[in-house]
Chains A and B, each alone.
Chain A
Amino acid sequence: MQTFSHVLDLAVGAPGQPREEDVLAALAPRFTLGAASRSRTVRRTWLDTFDWRLHRAGLTLEYLTGPRPAQLVLATASGDRLSQAAGRLTWPVLAPDLPPGPVTAVVGPVIGIRALLAVARATSAVQDLRVLNADTKTIAWIRADRTTVSHPAEALLPPRLQVTPVRGYQTQAQRIGELLAEAAGLNGDLGRPLDAALAAAGQRAEAYSNKINVRLSPDMTARAALRAVLLQLLDTLEANVPGTLRDIDTEFLHDLRVAVRRTRSALKLAGDVLPASVAARFRPEFKWLGDLTTPTRDLDVYLLNYDEMADALVSATPAELEPFHAHLARRRVIEQRVLARGLRSARFSRLTGEWRSILTGLSVPRTGERTAELAARRLRRAHRRVLRQGRAISADSPAEQLHDLRKRCKELRYLLEIFASVFDPQAYQRALKDLKGLQDCLGEFQDHQVQQEELREFAAQMMADREMPATALLAMGELAGGIGRAQRRARDEFAERFGEFASPASDQRFQDLIESAGR
């Protein structure tokens, strides 16, 4: 492990700025430069997840190959660097497939279940210069780095000079940094090399987010607002198609599904502000798309929770459950193929193509209902519906009734998210928190309900396929018992959770939220 900080990082020789030689000449007479090392070529690959988890956390991860052994280098926001030998790696890669080391230890928890992708690539010609004191002792290194970006687009970066102190000579290195910065005529923060590489290639980090972040103005017509939201949802949907087809990590499909569900809810709850027939025509198509993605996602959920489920077995051993894992993995291969066929089908490309052209070509009248009014009206209705359906649920109500309530809660949630920008942010957060508590409980209940049904189906199938040893059947039985108990707990909790949501205090928070629309 190695940690060190640069004391200075500056760009030289860009148009209108002093040249590298002139900047370095400023070190005399107090310091001299030793002979420069031979220039070596380093290939740099910057890595991040599709949703930029490292960048958002202030981290920059690079994979360096060249004359020296390959390594992973992680830079933190404060400029500290960690490095780790990496061997040969290819992208995408998931955290468990990274070699162990100090970089992996930091990166792993940040990226979670998302894969690392190559977000930019470049080739750097690197030369190291020794800075010497009066004893001709090396007290700092200046690294001159000339970088050519090759991905996401070709671009040339201005040369960079980085000063790194030799241990025990920080004060002198600081002085060297000051002399160079003065001569270069700038002291500004250059930002991360990754950002410079992306900017030179005409791109930026964190361009993707799975959140709805359209800024709506309250005075926009409702149709204009809905169009903006639907277009962003379509962008998100389409952005996740390649990663889903390549099966890079499970979050691509998850984000794609969320975009589809949000689109469906928007059409259902506010589709009437679009011209007649648009919602009627597209709602069945988006339902088809949602259904297409369900089997693979359900298997993903099983597989993501598998280790935890296996570890929780008391009577059976994880090894006895193994045939179930093999069955899930085989089924997933098949379902992924069905999903990919659907996403490559003419029906899918017609759906997204026509949807985009309808949305972009939509006439947006100058007058009509304001976004804020629509948001308030629909939110009031959705909130009332949740309360009504929830109150009708008693201890004996069947599971379907809770399932229906969960759907209403989701609709309310999506309405909140779609129109988030027209509400008061604090009122929004407070109301959201109330809703989340209820949603978590209903989600828990319903997920376990689905898992129970699926588990029975899996077991029947495994029996039919003669791939079920008696020990595996017993282990799955124990699994079913565990799921049943967890579902029971969620069911017992429901009355209390709903009581909180329906309380006068929570109700007041929703009224405050609705009244804040457009103010």
Chain B
Amino acid sequence: MKILATYNIKGGVGKTATAVNLSYLAAQDGLRVLLWDLDPQAAASYLFRIRPRVKGGGKALIKGSREIDDSIKGTDFADLDLLPADFTYRNLDLVLGATKKPTRRIARLLAPLSGEYDVIFLDCPPGISLLSESVLQAADSLLIPLIPTVLSLRTLDQLTDFISSFDGQRPQVLAFFSMIDRRKTLHREIAERLPTERDDVAAAAIPSLSQIERMSVERAPVAAFAPNSRAAQAYQALWAEVRSRML
């Protein structure tokens, strides 16, 4: 079982769209996939038409007083399940803080699912917190969507430095450009140059496309409702690269 987290300190960079589409494509590839929507905004749950509610809330889940199994919901797609968001996830930092070894907590919760799933995607809320630290510790790989600006590259370096300070196992990092605006020269330049210069930046990239925004209307992965669209093809290329580099 591999754990992949989509993560960025910034919000609105395409984390959820990536988690939703890649988990769908992974399931289409025949892998057994679970997506955990950790963001109290519940966008991934919404996109799969699943109500953002977990019995006992985030507290029961994190403390282990309720089986994680009982809260998992099947999506409309074969081999793809979702652990929904819950509004109480906004307090996860406090709950984690009250446990022993909080940064190892997510990894421990997911360990029993290893027989059941091949891949678990974690869709993280933005920010840097105890929760994100626990996610970074649990993940085998981090997928970091970047908007092609100088500042976001700085953030990537900060994150890489932070991870290299971990003891023991460190997640593999793969950044990729997201929401590329072809009309902006800076976007084009950075998105073309960086993958050739840096190993941890993927060649595949996700342009800013209206089909991706339509996901919130269709409430489904773009690869499901518009499989031949440019958006779906971009996610497919990204999934192919993630699969070959990280699984």
Residues of A at the B interface (CB closer than 8 Å) are: 130, 135-138, 166-169
CA of A166 to CA of B82, assembled, Å: 12
CA of A166 to CA of B73, assembled, Å: 7
CB pair B72 A167 closer than 8 Å = yes
CB pair A166 B51 closer than 8 Å = no
Which residue on chain A has the smallest CB distance to residue B82? A168
Task: Kindly list chain B residues whose C-beta atoms are within 8 Å of the C-beta of A130.
Answer: 76
CB pair B51 A167 closer than 8 Å = no
CB pair B74 A168 closer than 8 Å = yes
21 contacts between A and B (CB under 8 A): A130-B76, A135-B49, A135-B51, A135-B219, A136-B49, A137-B48, A137-B49, A137-B76, A138-B76, A166-B74, A166-B76, A167-B72, A167-B73, A167-B81, A168-B71, A168-B72, A168-B73, A168-B74, A168-B81, A169-B73, A169-B74
Task: Kindly list chain A residues whose C-beta atoms are within 8 Å of the C-beta of B51.
Answer: 135
Q: Any chain A CB within 8 A of the CB of B50?
A: yes
Q: What is the size category of the interface that chain B forms with chain A?
A: 10 to 19
**When A and B form their complex, which 6 residue pairs have the shortest distance between CB atoms, in order from nearest?**
A168-B73, A167-B74, A137-B49, A166-B74, A138-B76, A135-B49
Q: How many A-B residue pairs have CB under 8 A?
A: 27
CA of A130 to CA of B77, assembled, Å: 11
B139 to chain A, nearest CB (A): 24
CA of A166 to CA of B80, assembled, Å: 11
Task: Kindly list chain B residues whose C-beta atoms are within 8 Å of the C-beta of A168.
Answer: 71-74, 81
> Within residues 194 to 222 of chain B, which ones have a CB less than 8 A from any CB in chain A?
219
Contact with A along B27-49 (1 / 0, CB 8 A): 00000000000000000000011
Select the residue from B50, B51, B76, B81 with max chain A CB neighbours within 10 A.
B76
Select the residue from A136, A166, A168, A169 with max chain B CB neighbours within 10 A.
A168
Task: Kindly list chain A residues whose C-beta atoms are within 8 Å of the C-beta of B81.
Answer: 167-168
Interface of chain B, helix or strand or loop or mixed? loop
20 further A-B contacts with Cβ under 8 Å, apart from A166-B76, A167-B73, are: A135-B49, A135-B50, A135-B51, A135-B219, A136-B49, A137-B48, A137-B50, A137-B76, A138-B74, A138-B76, A166-B74, A167-B72, A167-B81, A168-B71, A168-B72, A168-B73, A168-B74, A168-B81, A169-B73, A169-B74
B55 to chain A, nearest CB (A): 10
Task: Kindly list chain A residues whose C-beta atoms are within 8 Å of the C-beta of B48.
Answer: 137
Which residue on chain B has the smallest CB distance to residue A165? B74
Task: Kindly list chain B residues whose C-beta atoms are within 8 Å of the C-beta of A169.
Answer: 73-74
B61 to chain A, nearest CB (A): 14
A134 to chain B, nearest CB (A): 10
Contact with A along B128-152 (1 / 0, CB 8 A): 0000000000000000000000000
Task: Kindly list chain A residues whose C-beta atoms are within 8 Å of the C-beta of B72.
Answer: 167-168
A236 to chain B, nearest CB (A): 46
A164 to chain B, nearest CB (A): 10
CA of A21 to CA of B76, assembled, Å: 24
Task: Kindly list chain A residues whose C-beta atoms are within 8 Å of the C-beta of B50.
Answer: 135, 137
CA of A167 to CA of B51, assembled, Å: 14
Which residue on chain B has the smallest CB distance to residue A138? B76
Task: Kindly list chain B residues whose C-beta atoms are within 8 Å of the C-beta of A138.
Answer: 74, 76
CA of A168 to CA of B51, assembled, Å: 11
A1 to chain B, nearest CB (A): 9
CA of A218 to CA of B71, assembled, Å: 63
CA of A137 to CA of B76, assembled, Å: 7
A136 to chain B, nearest CB (A): 6
A203 to chain B, nearest CB (A): 36
CA of A167 to CA of B49, assembled, Å: 14
Task: Kindly list chain B residues whose C-beta atoms are within 8 Å of the C-beta of A167.
Answer: 72-74, 81
B77 to chain A, nearest CB (A): 9
Which residue on chain B has the smallest CB distance to residue A168? B73
CA of A135 to CA of B218, assembled, Å: 12
CA of A166 to CA of B48, assembled, Å: 13
Task: Kindly list chain A residues whose C-beta atoms are within 8 Å of the C-beta of B49.
Answer: 135-137
CA of A158 to CA of B76, assembled, Å: 29
CA of A169 to CA of B73, assembled, Å: 7
CA of A138 to CA of B219, assembled, Å: 12
CA of A135 to CA of B52, assembled, Å: 12
Task: Kindly list chain B residues whose C-beta atoms are within 8 Å of the C-beta of A135.
Answer: 49-51, 219
CA of A14 to CA of B71, assembled, Å: 40
CA of A290 to CA of B76, assembled, Å: 63
Which residue on chain B has the smallest CB distance to residue A133? B49
CA of A118 to CA of B32, assembled, Å: 32
